[in-house]
Amino acid sequence: MADPQHVLTQRVQSAIGAAFGSEYADTDPVIRPSQFADYQANAALALAKRLGRKPRDVAADIVAHLEAGDVCSGVEISGPGFVNLTLDEDWIAGRAQELLTDPRLGVPRQESQNIPIDYSAPNVAKEMHVGHLRTTVVGDALARVLEALGHNVVRQNHIGDWGTPFGMLIEHLLDVGEHSAEAELLTTDPNAFYQVAKGKFDSSPEFTKRARERVVELQSGDAETLRLWRELVDLSKSYFNRIYAELGVTLTDADLAGESMYNDMLPAICDELESTGVAELSDGALCVFLEGYTGRDGSPLPLIVRKSDGGYGYGTTDLATVKYRVETLHADRIVYVVGAPQSLHLRMVWDTARAAGWLPENVEPVHVQIGNVLGEDGKILRTRSGQPIRLMALLEEAVERATSVVAESRPDLDGESRAAIARDVGIGAVKYADLSVSHDTEYVFDFDRMLALHGNTGPYLQYAAARIRSIFRKGGLDPREATGPIRLGEPAERDLALALLGFGPAVRQVGDTLEPHHLCGYLFDLAQTFTSFYERCPVLKPDDPAVRDSRLALTAATLHTLVRGLDLLGVRAPERM
């Protein structure tokens, strides 16, 4: 076990049990990083209250019973009763050495849960915007991390592929011709297609009438209408897939589980809610009134599951997602990576599902709230003319800007290599910007900041990895052959080895909190720790071959960790930069 905090927790916990008896044996020793040592145990203060003794005496008792000679080189009582713990150099070296041959790099394998994860969810024949970008990027990183921790992740791309707009979209498709250039627009600029259809819907009563009739045919399952609907969905799918390929996200057609998939479940859902009394009719609409949900004026706020015209809403479909994910996917945890404004909606859906008995107590739904991405004016990011930003255009601009960064840093490379690097850097920068802040914070989209080669950015970490690769190239060495043994002498070597032990815990923390920024912060710290190490400790030059072997091994372990960490975030690490 390479996680020092975990090891120290076990050891101090045993000491507490030995000192104060079995009823104290599961006390959390509260091991935290310390300013004065590597870690400190803070449990003595709370224990002292329970025991009615002085905290310093309690701490002394813990220390007297602590068996940690192999792990710690120093154990000291400080302040009111903290136990400062300094890790033994050989212990750290031994754990770092184990990481070198561990393909998991210390990432724990957890008891496997079934985890459906709902993310991306763009809408057919509409633009994918920066909000969809952020759920796609965050969701994909979470899927990768949860998989790495040993879970059975089921990606669910809940695309918007059903509803009344399809009447007008189908009629417009017929007007322009299925094989026309206008129809092709759906694969390149779907919003343009949508806007024309909407324009006609708003201005031509004849078109509006056709569109409405088409909705009815769609709902009644008319074969030709369904074929046209599928055509629209397929064209949109190819657009989504182009974006996914550009982004390097793991979503495929097999992960599509759109709104239309749940159609057949909706009538039964309403019937059951009505017959069990969870829902009631109110002004012709079938509504669920839950305790604790009121509107601004204090009146009860319903979740409408069937409108008075018989149509179903977003809430009904999401109830179906809960049912499907529990009953068919056997979910232990259900993750919804969805915009923060949907929070009330999702809570009402889950409470309704609980009331209906579809969401058992032991299944935990989680809303990973996605915050807005803002423009420099502090409002939701849009083009100058007020249109939503086209995602493809945004990604193209990122790559274009990265191209000039790389042209400056690597004029020696040929154009083709530079273009490949620029792609990784530009896309990596945009993705990392979404990941390095809490998923629910709003942030201002700023190309200059995200592409900077300093600070907590994707390019900084990519550069750190590329620089390590160049050290090995310079030495004519292969990082996979740098196997140590690791020996620690200089403080900077010790710091780096200790930092490497933090990878597994950082990945676990992302799995627990569903916050990828913990991993970003960890990798950023690691890269900085490596820089300090590299400034103080020559890697290729030492005369003593043992020192050189050890430093090369630490350097290689840093590279493996950076590359694997970026990979878990879905960010590519180019060989050269």
Q: Considering only residues 55, 160, 504, 570, which one is a binding residue for ligand ARG as defined by CB under 6 A?
A: 160
Residue with nearest beta carbon to ligand ARG? 121
- Is 547 a binding residue for ligand ARG by CB under 6 A? The answer is no
Residue 108's φ and ψ, nearest 5 degrees, are -70, 155
Using the minimum distance from each CB to ligand ARG, give the nearer residue, 130 or 433: 130
Instruction: List the x/- string, 333-372, binding to ligand ARG by CB under 6 A.
Output: ---x-x----------------------------------
Stretch touching ligand ARG by CB under 6 A, among 96-104, 115-123, 415-423, 493-501:
115-123
Q: Using the minimum distance from each CB to ligand ARG, give the nearer residue, 116 or 574.
A: 116
User: In whole angstroms, how close is the CB of 205 to ligand ARG at the nearest point?
Assistant: 29
Angstrom CA distances, 557 to 86, 370, 458, 560, stand at 23, 33, 19, 5
**Closest approach of ligand ARG to the CB of residue 339, in Å:** 6
Residue 29 or 160: which CB sits closer to ligand ARG? 160
**Taking the complex as a whole, how short is the minimal distance between the CB of residue 131 and ligand ARG, in angstroms?**
7
Is 236 one of the binding residues for ligand ARG (CB under 6 A)? no
Q: Which residues, other chains included, contact 296 with Cβ-Cβ below 8 Å and sequence gap of 6+?
A: none
- Check residue 118 for interaction with ligand ARG (CB under 6 A): yes
Q: How far is CA 567 from CA 147, 493, 513, 523, 561, in A?
A: 12, 25, 19, 12, 10
Q: Does 158 bind ligand ARG (CB under 6 A)?
A: yes
To ligand ARG, the closest distance from the beta carbon of 353 in angstroms equals 13
d(CA 477, CA 487): 20
Pair 290, 348: CB distance under 8 Å: yes
3-state secondary structure 42-107: CHHHHHHHHHCCCHHHHHHHHHHHCCCCCCEEEEEEECCCEEEEEECHHHHHHHHHHHHCCCCCCC
Cβ 492 to ligand ARG, closest distance in Å?
A: 47
Angstrom distance (rounded) from CA 61 to CA 339: 51
Residue with Cβ nearer ligand ARG (38 or 140): 140
Q: Shortest distance, CB of residue 166 to ligand ARG, whole angstroms?
A: 14
Tell me if 321 contacts ligand ARG by CB under 6 A: yes
Closer to ligand ARG by CB, 321 or 409: give it: 321
What's the min distance (Å) between Cβ of 269 and ligand ARG?
15
Which tokens go with 347? Answer: 């809570």
Specify the amino acid at residue 169: L
CB 266 within 8 A of CB 167: no
Decide whether 95 or 126 has the Cβ nearer to ligand ARG: 126
Q: How far is the CB of 244 from ligand ARG (least distance, A)?
A: 15
How many residues interact with ligand ARG (rule CB under 6 A)? 9
CB-nearer residue toward ligand ARG: 335 or 395: 335
> Of residues 38, 318, 424, 515, which one binds ligand ARG by CB under 6 A?
318
Q: In the range 402-431, which residues lie near ligand ARG by CB under 6 A?
A: none
Q: Which of 9, 40, 42, 123 binds ligand ARG (CB under 6 A)?
A: 123
Q: Give least dist CB 259 to ligand ARG, A.
A: 8
Q: At closest approach, how far in Å is the CB of 185 from ligand ARG?
A: 20
Nearest to 457 by CA among 381, 405, 393, 535: 405
121 belongs to the binding site for ligand ARG (CB under 6 A): yes
Element (H, E) at 124: none
5: left (phi over 0), alpha (psi -120 to 50) or beta: alpha
Please, which residue, 8 or 235, has the CB nearer to ligand ARG?
Answer: 235
**C-beta of 338: minimal distance to ligand ARG in Å?**
4
Q: What is the smallest separation between the CB atom of 423 and ligand ARG, expressed in angstroms? A: 27
Q: Which range binds ligand ARG by CB under 6 A, 118-126, 372-380, 406-414, 543-551? A: 118-126
Q: Which stretch binds ligand ARG (CB under 6 A): 117-125, 228-236, 417-425, 505-513?
A: 117-125
Q: Which is nearer to ligand ARG, 338 or 465 (CB)?
A: 338
Evaluated on CA atoms 216, 221, 223, 227, the torsion sign reads: positive
Task: Read off the tokens for 9.
Answer: 């927790």
Q: Each residue of 189-217: b (16+ CB within 10 Å) or e?
A: bbbebbeebeebbeeeeebbebbeebbeb
Q: How far is the CB of 84 from ligand ARG (least distance, A)?
A: 48
Select the span of 116-124, 262-270, 359-367, 460-468 touching ligand ARG (CB under 6 A).
Answer: 116-124
Using the minimum distance from each CB to ligand ARG, give the nearer residue, 129 or 560: 129
Do 421 and 399 meet the contact criterion of CB atoms below 8 Å apart? no
Q: How many CB atoms lie within 10 A of CB 286?
A: 23
Q: How far is the CB of 156 from ligand ARG (least distance, A)?
A: 8
Dihedral sign for Cα 428, 430, 436, 438, please. Answer: negative
Are 526 and 555 within 8 A, CB to CB?
Answer: no
315 vs 484, beta carbon nearer ligand ARG: 315
Q: Is 462 in the site for ligand ARG (CB under 6 A)?
A: no
The answer for residues whose C-beta is within 8 angstroms of residue 367's C-beta and 6 or more apart is 336, 338, 342, 343, 346, 347
Residues present in the chain in total:
577
State the CB neighbour count (10 A cutoff) for residue 153. Answer: 21
- Give 369 or 550: the residue with its C-beta nearer to ligand ARG: 369
CB 520 within 8 A of CB 432: yes
Q: How many CA atoms lie within 13 A of 157 on its CB side?
A: 23
Q: Please report which helix (H) or strand (E) contains residue 320, including its range.
A: helix 314-327
Q: Which residues bind ligand ARG (CB under 6 A)?
A: 118, 121, 123, 158, 160, 318, 321, 336, 338
